[in-house]
Amino acid sequence: MDLSFGELVRMMDLSAVRAESDESEVRAMADWARKYRCVAVFALPAMTGLLCSLLKDEKDIAVGGVVGFPSGGSTTTIKRREAEELLAMGCQELDMVINIGKLRSGRIDEVTADIRAVVEAAGSLPVKVIFECHHLNDEQIRQACGCSEAGGAAFVKTGTGWAQSGATVANVGLMKSCVGDRLGVKAAGGVRDLETLHRLHRAGATRFGIGLSSALAILAECERQP
């Protein structure tokens, strides 16, 4: 069964996480999140303090922070400190990029430890692990799911939105088959229309990371449905 408008907005994370995302985009995103009651909003770290201040009175809209974004190649020490800084700003959840290079190199224990460090910094707050599936094969996606679960993450996530491809039905379905109901699956990267979102939801995604312009088009399309 496809999502209703109310269900959709409570699964939608608005994002302004491109290099060119400026203050006007962050402010517009906060305004639209307030209007539609989207579940969460994300900006790049340098804009996250502004976003927290804009939405400080909105108890049902979480401000998320991105860690190790977009490459995942920061050291674990840097990722932990970035997580701590974002939490001090007021972030209520974190999306961290997995160490893609180490995963592709087979350094599974190091990848798990990298995730665990951010999860420990977050305490009781949820951490989503971004895989950047565009750069991974199916076996590496399976390994990334195992690392995320072993590291204590709450969600696995398809991509940053910076790679050439992101959320696909095949990748979401594979991730869901690996994590079952133990972790959530977030689809991000290329979610630009309502039908794509519904297909990804049917494949197992329960959160969607979407840029502002695409999100507004999807919500408008949903509102037009009978």
> What residues contact residue 123 under an 8 Å CB cut-off, 6+ apart?
none
Phi, psi angle pair for 124, to nearest 5°: -85, -5
Catalytic pick among 95, 102, 114, 128:
95
Catalytic pick among 102, 128, 157, 176:
157
Q: Can you list the alpha helix ranges (DSSP code H) found in the chain?
A: 5-9, 23-36, 45-54, 76-89, 100-104, 108-122, 138-151, 169-179, 194-203, 212-224
Rounded CA-CA distance 178/176 in Å is 5
Query: Which SS3 state, helix, strand or coil, does residue 168 take?
Result: coil
Only one residue has tokens 């199916």, namely 138
Query: Which SS3 state, helix, strand or coil, does residue 71 take?
Result: coil
Phi, psi angle pair for 97, to nearest 5°: -90, 130
Rounded CA-CA distance 214/193 in Å is 7
Only one residue has tokens 């290329």, namely 190
Catalytic pick among 102, 128, 176, 186:
186
Rounded CA-CA distance 98/92 in Å is 19
| Nearest in space to 197 (alpha carbons), one of 164, 222, 165, 161 | 222
Active site residue 95: yes
What is the set of active-site residues?
Answer: 95, 157, 186
